[in-house]
Amino acid sequence: MKTSELKEFLDEKADFYNNPDFITTDPIQIPHQFSKKEDIEIAGFLAATIAWGNRKSIITNAKKMMDYMGNSPHAFVMHHNENDLEKLLPFVHRTFNGYDFIQFIKSLQHIYTQHNGLEAVFAKHANKNSLQPAIAQFKTLFFEIEHLQRTQKHVSNPLKGSSAKRINMFLRWMVRKDNKGVDFGIWNKIAPSQLSCPLDVHSGNVARKLSLLKRKQNDAKALAELDTNLRKLDSNDPVKYDFALFGLGVFEKF
């Protein structure tokens, strides 16, 4: 397939899947319950953090997370007490348990009180062409307070070889701006051109079939390769093609 034909094909698929109907089957529905910026980004970050495994289970458990926080995630993060935190202990999603949930609440409070919030951290440490260094720095700041060692595995570090699929997905939600009603575009200090495609088994397999990706592992090197090729198709908004790759893989079994 010629580059022009591939672009036309993927533009069409991205346009088809990037619509409000997509929300009903995707974890992005969790932050869509909120209107306040901080609620949206905290709900989005927590939902993205547990976004692996069965999608219905992800959505069910992300809703439980919101319920535990009284459906006011920002207020809970900023004003919780020890009793509030103890009530989170029964939570579990795969290997993410109540102790991890408690650590995330404490670390998020630290990010908002000491580092001016999630957007500020990622914007401060981004470079012109990539947010991967910013993700690595975010992990450092997130765990600079006293923390459980086990919880570190739930925040990826691209500089140690991870594709950081879940954080890249969260960043897409916050940064991408269009009029389709799916992504929020509430962060203004980062450009969509800096985003990386959330790379998982579905998007990776489709990308290989379309010759956008040669590397066999879904790791940081594969992400860099996919980024390069998607930027050739649209340098301003490369990650819109996440909708195409995901839709082709999950819904069309491409």
Q: How far apart are CA 167 and CA 132, in angstroms?
A: 10
Task: Output the average pLDDT for the chain.
Answer: 96
* pLDDT single digits (tens) 165-192: 999 999 999 999 999 999 999 999 999 9
* pLDDT single digits (tens) 33-56: 999 999 999 999 999 999 998 999
Residue 28 has a pLDDT of: 98
* pLDDT single digits (tens) 225-252: 999 999 999 999 999 999 999 999 988 9
Instruction: Work out the pLDDT band at 1, boundaries 50, 70, 90.
Output: confident
Phi-psi map region of 253: left, alpha, beta (phi>0 left; psi -120 to 50 alpha): left
Residue 254 has a pLDDT of: 85
Q: Any alpha helices (H) in the chain, and if so which ranges?
A: 3-17, 37-49, 55-68, 73-79, 82-86, 98-114, 118-125, 132-142, 165-175, 201-209, 220-233, 241-250
Residue 79 has a pLDDT of: 98
Residue 127 φ/ψ, nearest 5 degrees: -105, 175
Residue 23 has a pLDDT of: 95
pLDDT value at 205 more than 90: yes
**Closest of 193, 176, 170 to residue 45, by C-alpha:** 170
Whole-model pTM?
A: 0.96
Q: Using an 8 Å Cβ cutoff, are 92 and 98 in contact?
A: yes
In this structure, the number of other CB atoms found within 10 A of the CB of residue 253 comes to 9
DSSP 42-59: HHHHHHHHT--S-HHHHH
* pLDDT single digits (tens) 99-133: 999 999 999 999 999 999 999 999 999 998 899 99
Residue 220 has a pLDDT of: 97
